Amino acid sequence: MATVPFPLVRPLKILFLISPYQQFLKKIATGGVLLMGSALVALIWANLSPSSYHHFWHTDLTFSLGPLSISKSVQHWIDEALMTLFFFTVGLEIKREILIGELAQLRRAILPVAAAAGGMIFPALIYLFFNSGSEASTGWGIPMATDIAFALAVLSFVDKRIPFGIKIFLSALAIVDDLGAVLVIAIFYTKTIYWQYLFASLGFLLALGIINYLKINKTLPYALLGVGMWFVILGSGVHATVAGVLVAFFIPARGRYNTDNFIEKVQTYVAKIECPDGTCGHTRLVDQTHLNAVQAIEVACHNTMTPLQRLEHSLNSWVALLILPLFALANAGVVLGGLDVKAAFTHPVTVGVALGLLIGKPVGIFVFTFLTSKILRAPLSKGVTWIHIGGASILAGIGFTMSIFIGGLSFTNPEYIELSKFGIISGSLISGGLGLAVLYFSGQPKVE
């Protein structure tokens, strides 16, 4: 039995301590299940009533503030505004991983970084093999990305049969993969740059850097500058979601109090909650001294947590449970009745995307991981075998969210967009099923 190291407090049994990383994995996996359901609803809706589906998501929504006015379709608001919050949380997760996570030490980071590189290069090459020289060649970035929410949701079905290290490997790989996808979007899918807006964005970055340097921990200044950053990035021609990642890198990863200050303050406040009869009960909070002490402890916790932690904790649920499902509803509606399914399956866009996810992803990830491990003597995590790496490599072929997102940027031809979605859905479904089977038969259930 462990006891709380504060005086005058009854010993408390600590049943289980969940790390922030485990909470992140659980939340993302839960969101992934909801994402699957939303994608299924979108497919059913689009095929039962194509006109209502497209009319709803393409309805214009206008926001005005004095002389300023922005009018976009509901789908565009989701893709360019709400998805900025998704990219913001991706940026926060990348920063946290670089500072204290799997990417903090070269020896630990090298395998997922190498795996992500292979998982981006091979799918792009496979896609270009089928589409090089055609107007559809611009879609080479579509099969490069892994959908971390979908992949972790599928992984949760075999949670008791796999080591925890494989979850860490897959999520770290997907995070590096997301960073690569953001760079691809910013560099290769920006058609026209309006330099005056881009220079204005540098001013916002400078302001973010200054308030970070001054150790300002209030989130409001970062939020206001972030909104301004989004507007100028939107006007620059670079996709507005890139602003989310850039702003995330400037969010402080240091709290106002260090651990010693926190312990000292909390010990002082807990000592004020003294109950002579040995039990305080719920009604003791009517005691103003107790109430003040509890509120002071809450403030101390708030000041000890970093803004990065607070934002991750508060936004992850919104992103996983609302924004990504909305994105799936607005973008996954492939009208199968309008497609010649046989022709669609053999079209170079569909084949390039599907095989890029189904073959390019696992081959690239496994080969790069194996070579890096052998050449640089980088060990696998405890309990992880090469069969586990193979299964995770196949699961990484689930490219739903980011792949559909890049598909919308790649083409102006609506037919190509629909074909790319067809390839994404088919490739992701097969990858999910195969990866699940490999991991299921890779070991015995863990004994609790």
Residue 14 scores a pLDDT above 90: no
pLDDT of 282 higher than 90: no
Per-residue pLDDT tens for 357-382? Answer: 999 999 999 999 999 999 988 888 88
CA distance 376 to 23: 32
Q: Where are the domains of the chain?
A: 20-189+239-255+305-440, 259-301
Supply the pTM of this predicted model. Answer: 0.72
CATH number for the domain whose boundaries are 20-189+239-255+305-440:
1.20.1530.10
pLDDT exceeds 50 at position 396: yes
**pLDDT at residue 20 is higher than 60:** no
- Tell me the average pLDDT of the chain: 82
* Residue 125 banded pLDDT, cuts 50, 70, 90: very high
Check: CB of residue 400 under 8 Å from CB of residue 123.
no
Asked if residue 407 lies in contact with residue 420, where contact means CB atoms within 8 angstroms, the answer is yes
SS3 of 268-328: the string is: HHHHCCCCCCCCCCCHHHHCHHHHHHHHHHHHHHHHHCCHHHHHHHHHHHHHHHHHHHHHH
Region 69-92: mean pLDDT is 83
Q: What angle do CA 312, 159, 144 make, to 5 degrees?
A: 60
Span 223-251, mean pLDDT?
86
With a cut of 90, say whether residue 241 has pLDDT above it.
no
Per the structure block, which two tokens stand in for 55? 């009319």
Return the closest-CA partner of residue 113 out of 428, 438, 376, 312: 376
pLDDT band at 438 (very low <50, low <70, confident <90, very high): very high
Residue 379 or 339, more confident: 379
- Residue 4: its pLDDT value, please? 42
Q: Report the pLDDT value the prediction gives residue 285, as an integer from 0 to 100.
A: 58
Q: How far apart are CA 97 and CA 175, in angstroms?
A: 9
pLDDT > 90 fraction of the chain, expressed in percent and rounded: 25
pLDDT of residue 210: 94
pLDDT at 9 over 60: no
